[in-house]
Structure 1
């Protein structure tokens, strides 16, 4: 990082591995922190709210008032419209109902990120990651954030070929690449291997032969021990590895190669720089420089680089078609969503993964261990989930089933994924059951389950019945 900072101080364009990490981009950090705010409890999202405020103001090049960070624990998101986008603060509860890719796009729009050209490659890559994470079906924000912390955070942008910038890269990562000029500023890796590193040796010829193998600390003292042979073998392998690294480093350049080594008063072969200094000891001039100069022909580029120059993040009109402003919604429906948006999402997740009281309790316990819900929420969530499962009409349907499939993907002829909550089987019929946690019934719900029915019929199933269960009303509807 020191090298990067020094180059940037001289106004030189720099590309580094850390800079290409998607998770290091401020716009992506803003979206991730916002998602954590949306699914968390208000009393436990103060840090994420503070991060959102700082990142948003920084990206928009606006000053931050220290008072904006005060008392965030007790300030709900809908009261932060002075420091965060008004659209987010007013509509976040209903946005929770959107699929994750749609939610990400609407966050990009509301934060005004679409016109920040420096962030566009990261936003486009992040959109691809949200799509890839949902290949097996829409699993929601919680599952995505879990995947992000485990795998997504390691993803990087590909290093752009032909970019007019200095690329900072490790020797290992440079394998297979070629550059017109290469500079190795720190040719100082150990040739004998790192001292006190652990390596395994065979104990067949020692008093510990019954162990077959033992781990030892790698150091020179082993040269005079009973396992001296193993030590010298390890030393030989380390010397070969050091030479291989030098080979890789010196064969990446097409035209120019610069290697910097550290001079010493007493020459002792401890790192690869010492080996180079000894090899060219009589070739260095009074300034400690050794040059091999040869003619280099200038490259002629007839073909222009095939870059796409985007000025803004491309969005679609699907969001405006799917999302209806809060003012135009039925009042009762809006109030219901705002009060139960998070709880409804949790209950849907629980019922999709549990069908008995024992399974419900076990699944909620796992949510607590994962930090998704709090211990004091457990009784209410269990009660609400069991209230759904104990519905008389629903129990009749569930009791008929001899087998069931929960939240599995169906792929249609166009490759699109469909994910019914539950498919039940008995001897002579197939039942599609979909849970809904909205107060009002919708024709789109009917269209959705009818689509599931059509897909099952195309798969060869007969005598298919479809049900919608509206959990808020406790109503089971045969479609």
Structure 2
């Protein structure tokens, strides 16, 4: 940076992802902006970790680890305070307490009233939105993208799987490593990636911090060897395959040739990775390796170690420096080529006019104050006609599906209130309307104990096309010879209302019922049509 290179021209290439994480942590702690697979991952965003920790406490208040993590992140992320021994002792006290109430009281004292009783009952999206606003997380402009991606995640999950908080946390633990945001365009930051992902790319400055990977098969890697001599198998039915760890002991077995081939392939793959890493820079390359282990003296009859293929990249680099007479046991750095401080002229693209407006707050009105959500919306509401009377008739129609006998009216009304289909204030009106139907002089018999009733029962008759239509109520008389089909309709009566019942009545006659009666009951007017 002191030589004039910009952060976005620098790339750090690692062989493994865990090495990339270590480098990212090292640079981030020292204040450098970075772009990496992990830096774009939701699981490494502190604002997201704070939300998840609060989720865990709301889901399992006894989770001491979640309490401690939430308190730590509130101090560090929201309040901008570094941990102190005094605060750490306070966190431990609150986290290990028998009740979670002191935890929420502590947040209230800090100015963040979570209102745990109400907040814990919100849906996933509303809960996330509420916590973001409560803790002012949108003020962390650099992490706004993570917040909006997490909001999208909660919305997508709730639409697909529901709002169960415990299930969402399980889903998060399983998927968090694969959830990320898109890389911000034009950001001046150091790129941290793997050598494999850097293929085909070029950077002004490349740093390879772990240039010491193995050029031999890793210990524990298995070799699936093909056995040529099948006569020596313990069982004739066994496949001619041997699965063994890749060690030099295989050189003294029939699998020696295959083992040697695997060793050569691994060596070439390691060299290929080294070639990719060392050919990515345009101007400067920095490779950081380790001093190879001392080579043991060769025993009598053995080839010198220097004649064997290098086992690691560090050993390969050491051999190069030795062969060019540059190696010195006391020297820590080597300059193989020097551009004498040359830095290419920066070509800055014309800066586009910014039309972005900063978002500093996510204003949200509690949904229960502006909207009433109810299950089975298509069943309960008539979206084509939002008239109050028609809405009531649809609710009544749905309730009658559950009422087998008049004595069950109170129980069904209570169930609908508990499920949110009907409010407590609407219960009395629902009971009145249900009693109108079940106690109607011409309908009371069909809700009495003397008959058996089924709601929307389907009949399948061989050789007959399946009917999509099902009557609202089918009543069987005790004699077993008579059945009554009932449909509930909205007035006025129309000829088309009779046709489905007549076709369905024909199916019952095919089943052997001699007396099949059809009844149409019209809401509002309480008119009954029997045919």
Q: Normalising by structure 1, what TM-score?
A: 0.60
CA RMSD of aligned residues (A): 4.2
- Which digits, 9 at most, give the CA deviation of each residue in 1:101-152, with x for residues without a partner? 2220111111221212243232122122223334526443233222111113
Counterpart of 2:471 (choices 416, 428, 444) is 428
Q: Distance in 1 between matches of 2:279 and 2:269?
A: 15
1:15, distance to aligned residue in structure 2 (A): 4.3
Which residue is equivalent to 2:424?
none
- Which digits, 9 at most, give the CA deviation of each residue in 1:281-338, with x for residues without a partner? 327487633116497742412233798877545525xx3162449xxxxxxxxxxxxx
Counterpart of 1:259 (choices 287, 291, 296) is 287
- Which digits, 9 at most, give the CA deviation of each residue in 1:397-438, with x for residues without a partner? 9952548xxxxxxxxxxxxxxxxxxxxx972359xxxxxxxx
Counterpart of 1:225 (choices 234, 253, 256) is 253
Q: Distance in 1 between matches of 2:92 and 2:453?
A: 50
Query: After the TM superposition, which residues 3-22 of structure 1 pair with which residues of structure 2 at under 5 Å, given as runs?
Result: 3-4=23-24, 7=27, 11-22=31-42
Counterpart of 1:211 (choices 239, 243, 249) is 239
Q: Distance in 2 between matches of 1:56 and 1:217?
A: 49
**Contact 1:8-1:14 within 8 A present in 2 as well:** yes
Q: Distance in 2 between matches of 1:100 and 1:311?
A: 25
Which residue is equivalent to 1:282?
324
Where in structure 1 are there 5+ consecutive unaligned residues?
A: 326-383, 404-424, 431-461, 464-477
**Count, aligned residues:** 346
**Contact 1:198-1:218 within 8 A present in 2 as well:** yes
Counterpart of 2:45 (choices 9, 16, 25) is 25
Which residue is equivalent to 2:55?
35
Which residue is equivalent to 1:193?
217
Q: Distance in 1 between matches of 2:92 and 2:289?
A: 49
Query: After the TM superposition, which residues 6-405 of structure 1 pair with which residues of structure 2 at under 5 Å, given as runs?
Result: 7=27, 11-40=31-60, 42=61, 44-59=62-77, 60-62=79-81, 64=87, 66-67=89-90, 69-70=92-93, 73-77=97-101, 80-84=104-108, 89=113, 91-136=115-160, 138-205=162-229, 207-208=232-233, 210-264=238-292, 266=295, 269-279=310-320, 281-282=323-324, 284=326, 288-291=334-337, 293=339, 297-304=344-351, 311-313=358-360, 315-316=362-363, 319-320=364-365, 322-324=367-369, 400-402=455-457
Q: Distance in 1 between matches of 2:176 and 2:367?
A: 28
Q: Computing the radius of gyration over CA atoms, which structure comes out larger, 1 or 2?
A: 2
Aligned residue for 2:80, secondary structure, equals coil
**Contact 2:456-2:471 within 8 A present in 1 as well:** no
Q: Distance in 1 between matches of 2:118 and 2:24?
A: 43
Aligned residue for 1:70, secondary structure, equals helix
Q: Distance in 1 between matches of 2:289 and 2:361?
A: 48
Aligned residue for 1:61, secondary structure, equals coil
Given the superposition, is the C-alpha separation of residues 305 and 77 from structure 1 closer, same or farther in structure 2, using an over 3 Å criterion? farther
**Contact 2:210-2:289 within 8 A present in 1 as well:** yes
| More divergent stretch after superposition (30-39 vs 131-140) | 131-140
1:14, distance to aligned residue in structure 2 (A): 4.0
**Contact 2:195-2:273 within 8 A present in 1 as well:** yes
1:80, distance to aligned residue in structure 2 (A): 2.4
- Greater helix fraction, Structure 1 or Structure 2: 1
Where in structure 2 are there 5+ consecutive unaligned residues?
A: 1-20, 296-305, 371-413, 420-433, 435-446, 459-467, 474-499, 502-522, 525-531
Q: Normalising by structure 2, what TM-score?
A: 0.55
1:222, distance to aligned residue in structure 2 (A): 0.9
Q: Distance in 1 between matches of 2:51 and 2:74?
A: 10
